[in-house]
Amino acid sequence: MKHLIIFSGSPASAVCAQLVKNSFDGLAEDILLVHCHTYTEHIDDLRFKRKVIGYLDLPMEMVAEGRDIWDLCSDEQRFPQGKENFCSQILKENILNNYLKRLDKQEIILYYSFTGTEQIQALKTQTRMKEYKVFFPLIDKNISKERCAEIVANEWKINLPWTYTMFKETTCFPCLNRISVDYWATIFKHYPDLFDMAMLKEREMKQTIIPNISLETIKKSIRKGKVLVDENHQNNLPCECEK
């Protein structure tokens, strides 16, 4: 039996992997981290993954479609805009499904790192992956996302990734599915080059990431002091990005 941990690179997915490994002591060779790479990750997320993989001493398989989020939006000629998370469906969900089709479904068990506040996402995942055996160790053990971050930072002594420290998520960076002005104001403050890249993408596609307001307007407002960066009010991720 092969135990596949869907590894997003978040603190929660790291602790989920440890729980699985501890449950099958002596069978580490049958445990594999599976990471769906979008080619749109913050460089510090990559540092975090390497540290976690080294700490857990587990192999990781990276699967990818080949496009990044910028390519995908250009090809689709649309932005995700909140609940329509086609980016996650195409770059993560579909790629994972294609990977799993190459395996014997009777010989694998899947583990996802959803926590207690993500019961709905877990239920949807269980329904979608009904052909497989699926488990949610963090929900079963009642371990919160916050507790996972504490374990990794304080017990494992691994610095949390910048994106998690700032946004409490490790998603594409920047996430073109974020429709919060505060989020994009924060990107402008810390990564103005990426902000400008997203702004140019809006011009190219003649659409806006945030409904009814362009990044160019936000940039002008920031420079005039009309938009203040409030890094504590960036809203939760509006979509249900795949683990």
56 near 26, Cβ under 8 Å?
Answer: no
Which pLDDT does position 24 carry in this prediction? 79
Which are the contacts of 31, defined by CB distance < 8 A and separation ≥ 6? 3, 5, 17, 20, 21, 24, 58
pLDDT tens-digit readout, 10-56: 999 999 999 999 987 656 668 999 999 999 999 999 999 999 999 99
DSSP for 17-82 reads HHHHHHHTTT-GGGEEEEEEE-S---HHHHHHHHHHHHHHT--EEEEE-S--HHHHHHHHTS--TT
Whether pLDDT at 231 is above 70: no
For the beta sheet containing 31-37, the strands, ordered from the edge strand earlier in sequence to the opposite edge, are 60-64, 31-37, 2-6, 108-111, 133-135
Q: Does the CA dihedral 186-194-62-66 come out positive or negative?
A: positive
114 near 78, Cβ under 8 Å?
Answer: no
Q: Tokens for 108, please give them.
A: 């694998």
Half-sphere exposure of 60 (CA within 13 A, CB side): 22
Annotated domain spans of the chain: 2-164, 167-223
pLDDT tens-digit readout, 52-102: 999 999 999 999 999 999 999 999 999 997 666 899 999 999 999 999 999
pLDDT tens-digit readout, 131-188: 999 999 999 999 999 999 999 999 999 999 999 999 888 889 999 999 889 999 999 9
Which are the contacts of 104, defined by CB distance < 8 A and separation ≥ 6? none
Q: Which amino acid, one-letter code, is at 12?
A: A
Which pLDDT does position 85 carry in this prediction? 82
Which CATH entry fits the domain spanning 2-164: 1.10.1040.50, 3.30.565.10, 3.40.50.1170, 3.40.50.620? 3.40.50.620
240 near 181, Cβ under 8 Å?
Answer: no
118 near 12, Cβ under 8 Å?
Answer: no
pLDDT tens-digit readout, 192-204: 999 999 999 999 9
CA-nearest of 60, 41, 31, 64 to 170 is 41
